Structure 1
Amino acid sequence: MISSSLIGMVIYVLLLILVYVLIITEVVHKSIAALIGAAISVIVGSFLGLFDVTEVGGFIDLRTLGIIIGVMILVDVSRRSGLFQFIALKAIRMSGYKPRRLFVIFCLLTAFLSGIIGNITAMLIIGTLTVLTLIPLGVNPVPFLIAEVIISNVGSLMTLIGGIPPILVSSAAGLSFFEFTVFSMPFCIALVLITINILLLIFKKRIPAKFEFDIAIFEEIDPWVVVTDKKLFWKSLIILSLTIILFIIYDRLRLTLEFVAMLGGVLLLFLSGVDPEEVFRSLDWGTIFFFVGFFVLIGSIERSGLLEEVAKGLS
């Protein structure tokens, strides 16, 4: 007789494929696809007796959601001051007004931040900066964003706080933060540089050789022109910097990443004087609900034993 667990595995494989197809084809919004998958996975799991509906809440990774929401608030309030636009102008000048050099700068910055604050947090910050920099210049940000996602995954392997994989590896090998970093960083730096060069070749035709604007006029622009609120600018810069520092040393202070993210976001929101309702409305709730749905879907799949079987097959 076929066990309910095996039936569940088969259904979940098909369900996971369906969700990915819906996301890739964009038949529905990614959040809807994930939530549909989550709902079906809960119904299947409950019907087959794999888990109780009351356990579903435990599938959701509140730590990750806390980091995402906290950083989203931090980024949104900072954006209102003109901070990211200011940094964008500085980055453009640093690149010598060459898009491909700017591409390299953004990739290196992504790798660095991913190694010290994690790839999710880094992408929320760098992704915002990239879009705010390139859209006004008429440059397609997609190649930059794709490259940054790839680089962030490589860069996050530099240190233990970059993501889950380094933590798992270091725990299994019994490596300290220093030992892991000394061993991993040289390889990651080399891999980042190689990857950037490969990505430059791939996106060469999609990244213009030069910006289509008068550089002389751009040189005359005072970066402070884009700063709409200087008080909020300095508050944002200070709190964002302190938050990044806390992301680096959070474990020594016995804090958690989600606490640091929410602390930074809420503190800046409180000090900014910006209407919280405006900030909350501007958050990317689609992404948040996508993660909620996906966590439930993956949690259901895990309870079916599918992931364990895959792990056994790979070992």
Structure 2
Amino acid sequence: MTVKLVVIIFIVTYLFLMTEKWNRILAAFGGGISMLVIGAYSIDQALFQYIDWKTITLLFAMMLIVTMTSKTGFFEYSAIKLAQMVKGNGVAILLIFTFLAAVGSAFLANVTIAMLLVPILFTLIRILELPPIPYLISMILACNIGGTATLIGDPPNMMIGQAVEHFTFNAFIVNLMPVAALVLGISMLLLTLLYYRQLTVSEEKVEELSKLNPKDYLKKENGLVVSLSVLLLVLIGFSLQSYLHLDVTTVAIAGAVLLMALLEKRYSPDEILREVEWGTLFFFMGLFLLVGGLEEVGIIDEMAREILMLTEGDMKSTAFVILWGTGILSAVVDNIPFVAAMIPVITEFQEFGMVNMDPLWWSLALGACLGGNGTLLGSSSNLVIVGLALKERVEIKFTSYLAVGIPITLISLSVSTLYVYFKFLKPFL
């Protein structure tokens, strides 16, 4: 009976998340708590076995750092400066913001970059009277592609990095940044061909942009130098974690506490903590609890066996099934809960005799991050951008996005298939 209830709770929760008929935070956390109520596991198991506190803490720390850094105006300054450098050219602005979103998502997490860049983008769109949809769609695609490149870029990567000990910050850069850069280049080319006719700017509007002074947006009194210095130190700490023998979560939380201490006279800790996206953190906790129910009743083990039976334990087939299966499903549902479900599945493979699991983990990361571009429901950053657009009374239609998102996703997964084969599988096989 418990197994049936677990499956029902899981399916119902996913339907709420997909249809957005209920607040996604309440849906996820409600589903997780329901697992406790029906006795799928004990409260001790929930708190100490199924909630991944390292991932939650890493997200929390990065939120603190970016919240304080964003108050300095550095991001606004950079965006306006770059727009002026290209003299308000609509296509160039599209490419610059796509590139900025991708690079920023790699090092500051794609949800954070979306929240920082979209308001700036709307400022420029209003000044230059440009159509917002091409820029918003490009931003969605870039956030997911850029987030693929590093451990902290996309929540699924954070979760995988916490699950596999030898997957360091540098390991993600070495193994995923090349394919992410290739996919980004292809996507930027396709977006340019698709939208260049819509992005013409009048000379009058270019003149208006040229009158803006980017330095007016910088707020040195808000701790500009201190914030950027600590952010840089944290990024350096991530890249040197194998030499420092420190976990990325330790580096991030140490950096967050240091920055709060240095800026205490300007921002009280209470003020900064109020601005943390607590809803996102509770959403994660709910998903961990939800997937914990599946794991506790043995459904995860059964999924692992079914995949192995389908691929007959062949490494190449298993990697490609994970890559495409994850990519397609991550397009339909938020990639975070799916990765949370797949991590214990892949872990189970080792118990069934498979060796060299790295190709499977990298396939999972690529499928989850790049598959998130398939639909507007594919990743958290997609939903953040949709929400920010609605605040500006701009609606990104689900079907209109599909016309761009699905082709880009299929191309991305095809490129990733070749990359996984030649980079990870061929040397091993």
For Structure 1 versus Structure 2, the TM-score category normalised by the shorter chain is: 0.7 to 0.9
Amino acid corresponding to residue 279 of structure 1 in structure 2: I
Alignment partners' CA distance in 2, 1:291 and 1:166: 16
User: Which residue of structure 2 aligns with residue 242 of structure 1?
Assistant: 233
Map 1:257-272 onto structure 2 (within 5 A). 257-272=248-263
Deviations 1:52-95 (A, max 9, x none): 23211021111111111111111111111212211222332355
Alignment partners' CA distance in 2, 1:269 and 1:211: 45
CA RMSD, Structure 1 to Structure 2 (Å): 3.6
User: Equivalent residue of 1:251, what SS?
Assistant: helix
Find out whether 1:54 has 2:44 as its counterpart. yes
User: Equivalent residue of 2:69, what SS?
Assistant: helix
Amino acid corresponding to residue 145 of structure 2 in structure 1: I
Find out whether 1:36 has 2:30 as its counterpart. yes
Identity across aligned pairs (percent)? 26
User: Which residue of structure 1 aligns with residue 118 of structure 2?
Assistant: 131
- Pick from 273, 277, 283 the counterpart of residue 284 of structure 1: 277
TM-fit CA distance, 1:249: 1.6
TM-fit CA distance, 1:113: 5.5
Map 1:46-85 onto structure 2 (within 5 A). 46=39, 50-58=40-48, 59-85=50-76
| Structure 1 runs of 4+ with >6 Å offset | 166-171, 175-183
Find out whether 1:222 has 2:221 as its counterpart. no
Alignment partners' CA distance in 2, 1:287 and 1:206: 38
Amino acid corresponding to residue 16 of structure 1 in structure 2: F
Alignment partners' CA distance in 1, 2:171 and 2:66: 33
Q: TM-score, normalised by structure 2?
A: 0.59
Map 1:1-150 onto structure 2 (within 5 A). 7-8=2-3, 10-44=4-38, 46=39, 50-58=40-48, 59-112=50-103, 117=107, 121-137=108-124, 138=126, 139=132, 142-150=136-144
TM-fit CA distance, 1:36: 0.6
Alignment partners' CA distance in 2, 1:236 and 1:104: 27
Change (3 A) 1:145 1:178: closer
| C-alpha contact 1:110 1:122 (8 A) present in aligned 2 | no
Amino acid corresponding to residue 295 of structure 2 in structure 1: E
User: Equivalent residue of 1:97, what SS?
Assistant: coil
User: Which residue of structure 2 aligns with residue 191 of structure 1?
Assistant: 183
Alignment partners' CA distance in 1, 2:58 and 2:181: 26
Q: How many residues align?
A: 295
| C-alpha contact 1:34 1:290 (8 A) present in aligned 2 | yes
| C-alpha contact 1:65 1:288 (8 A) present in aligned 2 | yes
User: Which residue of structure 1 aligns with residue 351 of structure 2?
Assistant: none
> What are the ranges of 5 or more consecutive residues in structure 1 without an aligned counterpart?
none
| C-alpha contact 1:64 1:258 (8 A) present in aligned 2 | yes
Change (3 A) 1:18 1:77: same
Change (3 A) 1:309 1:35: same
Find out whether 1:295 has 2:288 as its counterpart. yes
- Pick from 239, 244, 257 the counterpart of residue 253 of structure 1: 244
